[in-house]
Amino acid sequence: MATIRLPGLVDAHVHLREPGYEYKEDFLSGTAAALAGGVTTVLDMPNTNPPTATPDRLIEKARLAAAKVVCDVGLFVGATNTEEDAYLPVAHQACALKIYVSDTFGSLRIDTLSLLHRLFRTWAEQAAARGGYRSQGRADGLGPITVHAEELMLPVCLALSRIYEVPLHIAHVSRRSEIELIRDAKMRGFTVTCEVTPHHLFLSAEDLAQLGARGDMRPRLASPDDVAALWENLAVVDLFATDHAPHTLAEKGIDVVTPPQNTPPGVPGLETMLPLLLTAVHGGRLELEDVVARCVTNPRHIYGLADQLDTWVEVDVDAVYELANGGLHTRVGWTPFAGRAVRGRVERVYLRGACVYEQGQVMAQPGSGQVLFGAAAPGT
């Protein structure tokens, strides 16, 4: 058995579901799943119930997280059509602003150009008042704007980011048209970064017949040509991030007598990303440095995250096994990759010198992880 040490991974796109959907996941089960996947920092999305759209809700979410998390967590604020930019007073306590302009789970999709325009303008004004953007190497300031912007909404967000000089991060890029536009925008000096999920790298629409609702997420699984374009343009891809988005199999209409009409999109991913990527390394499709850059160095830079001292993951790179639904820490207990042969297993995780995960068991106490950017500090 060959064991290697990797730095603790950052997953910059997860849905931990608390408050409002704790039956799918909560801060404890979701961060336990993170540790099992070798992830020691997660950035949590705002489409909870209620959405993280106001100062009170960010502070309340931070308090819930502080009591439960077993790895470090940054919290996104999110814009809604009714609350607009109400989050601005706590913008510096969020890891970033998330804006949805394409179809998603929940009610956060922004409907009008006038509101979208305002959200970019006021984030830029707030950043100027707070000393700029962390993503540009400053310790203080604001995070970037991260968007769920598919197809024609992508150039709209690129334009607004350029006009207001806001660093833009594009979540879960899935199509050739999108990655090629981001490539060309980068070449022309746009301040834009992007991420790709393991499911868009390792699955395509051709897998839908076998996966059914287990393969339904937004963005949808794309064509084999789109998948090939992501691999061809790996140099343009700054991050691998899971978009860990748990829903129960019953909600997905699987193994139930009367399947629901509208099944929610999204798949869990925290526990399967590293073995999938290490399998690609073994197969010669990636270098280990490509994984470390996209899962550690680049997310820390883009979101301005401090290093975690004495933090590492021990991986048995010779372990060959099948990914399975059994034994997962995510509350929903399934993965779209069940049955896939992989190579590389997380054996142990150390966070700030303490062994927090060992061979399937979470050793850390709930609340031993940190909530980043002071969001859980008393009196804020």
Instruction: Tell me which residues touch ligand DOR (CB under 6 A).
Output: 15, 47, 104-105, 148, 217-218, 245, 264-266
283 burial class (0-12, 13-18, 19+ CB within 10 angstroms)? exposed
Give the H/E segment covering residue 64: helix 55-68
238 belongs to the binding site for Zn ion (CB under 5 A): no
243 belongs to the binding site for Zn ion (CB under 5 A): yes
**Judged by CB, which is closer to ligand DOR: 105, or 190?**
105
CB of 326 to Zn ion, least distance (A): 25
216 belongs to the binding site for Zn ion (CB under 5 A): no
CB of 141 to ligand DOR, least distance (A): 27
Inter-residue contact 76 to 96 (CB < 8 Å): yes
**Judged by CB, which is closer to ligand DOR: 275, or 336?**
336
25 belongs to the binding site for Zn ion (CB under 5 A): no
**Judged by CB, which is closer to Zn ion: 44, or 314?**
44
Give the H/E segment covering residue 169: strand 168-170
Residue 178 interacts, among ligand DOR, Zn ion, none and using kind-specific CB cut-offs from 5 to 8 Å, with none
**Judged by CB, which is closer to Zn ion: 12, or 323?**
12
Residue 104 interacts, among ligand DOR, Zn ion, none and using kind-specific CB cut-offs from 5 to 8 Å, with ligand DOR
Residue 92 interacts, among ligand DOR, Zn ion, none and using kind-specific CB cut-offs from 5 to 8 Å, with none
CB of 16 to Zn ion, least distance (A): 11
DSSP state of 270: T
26 belongs to the binding site for Zn ion (CB under 5 A): no
Residue found by looking up tokens 């890891």 in the block = 95
**Judged by CB, which is closer to ligand DOR: 41, or 146?**
146
What is the SS3 assignment for 76-144?
A: EEECECCCECCCHHHHHHCCEEEEECCCCCCCCECCCHHHHHHHHHHHHHHHHHCCCEHHHCCCCCECC
CB of 199 to Zn ion, least distance (A): 11
CB of 243 to ligand DOR, least distance (A): 6
**Judged by CB, which is closer to ligand DOR: 264, or 299?**
264
For the chain, helix (H) and strand (E) counts, in that order, are 11, 13
Inter-residue contact 175 to 197 (CB < 8 Å): no
Report the side by side order of strands in the sheet with 361-362.
3-7, 312-322, 341-351, 354-358, 361-362
Residue 105 interacts, among ligand DOR, Zn ion, none and using kind-specific CB cut-offs from 5 to 8 Å, with ligand DOR
Q: Which of 275, 262, 248 is nearest to 331 (CA)?
A: 248
Residues in the site for Zn ion, rule: CB under 5 A?
Answer: 243
